[in-house]
Structure 1
Amino acid sequence: MHSYISPNTYITLRLPSGTLRVLRILPNTTISIGKFGSFPANLLLGRPYHLTYEILEADDDRAQTELRIVPAAEIHAEALVEDATATEPGADPLIDHVDGDASPMVAENGDVLGKSNRLTVDDAARQTLSYGEIEQLKKAKTGTGKEIIAKIMEAHANLDEKTAFSLAKYTLRKAKKFLRRFTVLPLDVSMLTQYMLSDKESSKVMDLREEMLGLTGCWANVHYGVSNEVRTTDDGLGQIGGGRWLMIDDT
């Protein structure tokens, strides 16, 4: 049912921050996703769902905005690197190269077990890039989200003091903020319910989760499909078909 993106259909975009955005794909229009950028809607037509795309702004190498399919290996690169590092003894540079200011955890026999962030001071002054410089990087069309993150991390004065866990959290926060990526998902009942609860007015669905809405629909014998045929019941007092309203009252 949801194989390829067709014109005039509603889709869901999942942004790097986790926010969901529902929109309609209209041919020959421009889709804007706020600070993450914009792109022509025609670039999504005919493409499959459940893929992650990166917006490549027009520059000297590209005459117009393009969408790059982000491979799964790149999306999960950080997780794969962390797993590989954990299986290789002595491969973590945060453990091999220890500073006194990093407050290392030392065993009774003198072996260094890892770093602690007890003495690490989280100060905004340690980021040498100013707010204006970061804004210029974001507005520049030649730099991708990964390049912006790399420059921000390079300008951090005390990045080497962070533990592996703290560094992973720091990188994830920057990725959610600067990566110009989005994932295209079909707008089905499950996704619409999630969108209403998390990003829209949850009161319109009475804060009911997906499983509760499904159970209510099951009890009410709600079926998929619409029939315009209206038939009178055998006793002549009621009608069947033509659509019915299901009302939930919490009073």
Structure 2
Amino acid sequence: MASAIIQADKYILLRLPSTNTKLLVLKDHSTVNLGKFGVFHADDIIGKPYGHTYEICADKKLKIVRKHQLTYSVDEVNNNQATIDDTARQTLTMDDIEALKTGDLQGRQIIDTVIQGHMAYDEKTEFSKHKYVKRKEEKFLRTFTPLKPTSWNIAQHFFEKDMAKILELKVETLSFILTAANIRPGGKYLVVDDAAGLITTAILERLGGSGTVLSLHDNEHPNFDIIKYLDFREDTLTRLLYNLDFLEAFYPNERSSLEATGDPATMKSRQREAYYRKQRAYTRLSECRHIYDEQNFDALIIATSFDPICLLSRLTPQVSGSRVIVVYSPHKETLIHTSHWMQAQHTILAPTVSEIRARKFQAILGRIHPEMMATSGGGYVLTGIRVLPVDSVVAKGKVDFKGKALRKSKATKDLNGEKRKIEMNEYVGGEPDSKKLKVDTTADQI
């Protein structure tokens, strides 16, 4: 995994005052342009730990800053009912503010000047002052915070920038998928991931260097674009991550021609390189096929735009008993249709469709309330437990059991003060006769 220290030629996330994030690669002796938030030298943060907040000075130098906090009493009972807050009560014009931004003043000094020019600022409650200052910080501060690329941070970044790329997968839903599938170090997992490799990346991160992930994909090469952002070591990926396309997995005999043939001793250098490259590819393919054919995966995770039923019908036998099958889709109707298919099978127990929603809250000292605006969606998750029924269940379509003989008994039931006789067949043991399974009731008892 990526080091705890910022390194050159590695991906990094920068959180800006606007709460947006910028994903980039730091280069030695280069400058980083953050638009209106300023420009700084990359060498000033290379070799430093993640998490510090830096302010960009006028000479492109950086200094570490602490988060500004307002102090106020939580017992305040005033309100903004009589406060008139409009642009006319700001003595500074837009030209004045632009002049402040292009001058020698730093972000905090600009904010203080804007506050002094606001005639209604003192009329605000302390809570309103806190929110007002926060808005000005997002607008005028020239700060940033380097963040370590993790599956959590990357998922949040792409959900805000390009949610279609990750199939609208929210970070809360991603966490639920990992928990439902019981992802743990040393596990063996079968994955179909069309979310640019986000789910595969999160699984590899949680494995902690021990385990196996076999990814199935529809193209010649898998789309694992997000994996590169977490800076896994190449030998770690080779040891943990395997992949097969659907043709290799479902029709293995049609790929036997991939095996390298000939005598490399008689080949030219270029032919010999091609021979060894093809031989390595075939060896790797054989390893992937062996892992797939073992049929002892600890979980099956599917996130794809294809019909999940087509994949489940082929991949369910690869999963061990009492293991979890997880299917993600941005559309609820797709999973409801899939859950109906699961219920008709004898190999998947208790299919359940879940929607994960984690509402954001505005939290300041002494007061908390949910944010009024939030992004809808985030996807749906279908979970089920893989079971291994006995042959008789598959053949007869029912559960077979044994016990003592069937006897008929009578019971009475007091309903609305009136005793009514119900004749029923009751099992007290013995091997049942399915033809005698009935409950005799009268019309007035229904």
The bucket for the TM-score relative to the shorter chain is 0.7 to 0.9
Contact 1:8 1:26 in 2 (8 A): yes
Aligned to 2:139, what secondary structure does the other structure show? helix
Aligned to 1:114, what secondary structure does the other structure show? coil
Find the aligned partners of 1:66 and 1:19 in 2 and give their Cα distance: 22
Which deviations, in whole Å up to 9, do the C-alpha atoms of 1:55-97 show, x marking residues without a partner? 1112xxxxxx211111xxx31532xx23xx44xx8xxxxxxxx
Question: Which runs of at least 4 in structure 1 moved beyond 6 Å after TM superposition?
Answer: 228-233
Alignment partner of 1:184 is 2:240: no
Alignment correspondent of 2:304: 248
Find the aligned partners of 2:9 and 2:171 in 1 and give their Cα distance: 26
Contact 2:55 2:143 in 1 (8 A): yes
Contact 1:16 1:179 in 2 (8 A): yes
Find the aligned partners of 1:40 and 1:34 in 2 and give their Cα distance: 14
Which deviations, in whole Å up to 9, do the C-alpha atoms of 1:90-145 show, x marking residues without a partner? xxxxxxxxxxxxxxxxxxxxxxx7322212112201101000110111111x1100
Contact 1:8 1:25 in 2 (8 A): yes
Larger RCO: 1 or 2 (CA < 8 Å, sep 6+): 1
Alignment correspondent of 1:16: 17
Q: CA deviation at 1:209?
A: 1.8
Find the aligned partners of 1:230 and 1:121 in 2 and give their Cα distance: 63
Alignment correspondent of 1:227: 238
Contact 1:53 1:183 in 2 (8 A): yes
Q: CA RMSD in A?
A: 3.1
Aligned 1:113-192 pairs, distance under 5 A = 114-140=77-103, 142-192=104-154
Contact 2:13 2:24 in 1 (8 A): yes
Find the aligned partners of 1:131 and 1:115 in 2 and give their Cα distance: 31
Rg larger in structure: 2
Aligned to 1:23, what secondary structure does the other structure show? strand
Aligned to 2:23, what secondary structure does the other structure show? strand
Contact 1:3 1:49 in 2 (8 A): yes
Find the aligned partners of 1:138 and 1:230 in 2 and give their Cα distance: 53
Residue identity in the other structure for 1:68: K
Contact 2:108 2:141 in 1 (8 A): yes
Contact 2:90 2:118 in 1 (8 A): yes
Aligned-pair identity (%): 32
Contact 1:126 1:156 in 2 (8 A): yes
Quick one: structure 1 residues 157 and 213, their matched pair in 2 at CA, closer, same or farther if it must change by over 3 Å? closer
Alignment partner of 1:69 is 2:70: no
Find the aligned partners of 1:53 and 1:2 in 2 and give their Cα distance: 20
- Structure 2: state its 5+ residue gaps: 184-188, 192-199, 205-235, 256-284, 293-301, 308-446
Contact 2:83 2:123 in 1 (8 A): yes
Find the aligned partners of 1:43 and 1:2 in 2 and give their Cα distance: 17
Q: CA deviation at 1:241?
A: 4.2
Alignment correspondent of 2:4: 3
Q: CA deviation at 1:164?
A: 1.2
Contact 1:11 1:186 in 2 (8 A): yes
Aligned to 1:191, what secondary structure does the other structure show? helix
Find the aligned partners of 1:205 and 1:52 in 2 and give their Cα distance: 29
Matched residue count: 208
Quick one: structure 1 residues 44 and 196, their matched pair in 2 at CA, closer, same or farther if it must change by over 3 Å? same
Quick one: structure 1 residues 230 and 147, their matched pair in 2 at CA, closer, same or farther if it must change by over 3 Å? closer
Residue identity in the other structure for 1:220: L
Aligned 1:37-48 pairs, distance under 5 A = 37-48=38-49
Contact 1:227 1:241 in 2 (8 A): no
Aligned to 1:184, what secondary structure does the other structure show? strand
Quick one: structure 1 residues 249 and 149, their matched pair in 2 at CA, closer, same or farther if it must change by over 3 Å? same
Quick one: structure 1 residues 50 and 241, their matched pair in 2 at CA, closer, same or farther if it must change by over 3 Å? farther
Alignment partner of 1:33 is 2:25: no
Contact 2:85 2:120 in 1 (8 A): no
Find the aligned partners of 1:178 and 1:8 in 2 and give their Cα distance: 30
Q: CA deviation at 1:174?
A: 0.6
Quick one: structure 1 residues 212 and 161, their matched pair in 2 at CA, closer, same or farther if it must change by over 3 Å? closer
| TM-score in terms of structure 1 length | 0.73
Alignment partner of 1:202 is 2:150: no
Q: CA deviation at 1:171?
A: 0.9
Aligned 1:33-112 pairs, distance under 5 A = 33-58=34-59, 65-70=60-65, 74-75=66-67, 77-78=69-70, 81-82=71-72, 85-86=73-74
Contact 2:84 2:120 in 1 (8 A): no
Aligned to 2:237, what secondary structure does the other structure show? coil
Quick one: structure 1 residues 158 and 147, their matched pair in 2 at CA, closer, same or farther if it must change by over 3 Å? same
Residue identity in the other structure for 1:4: I
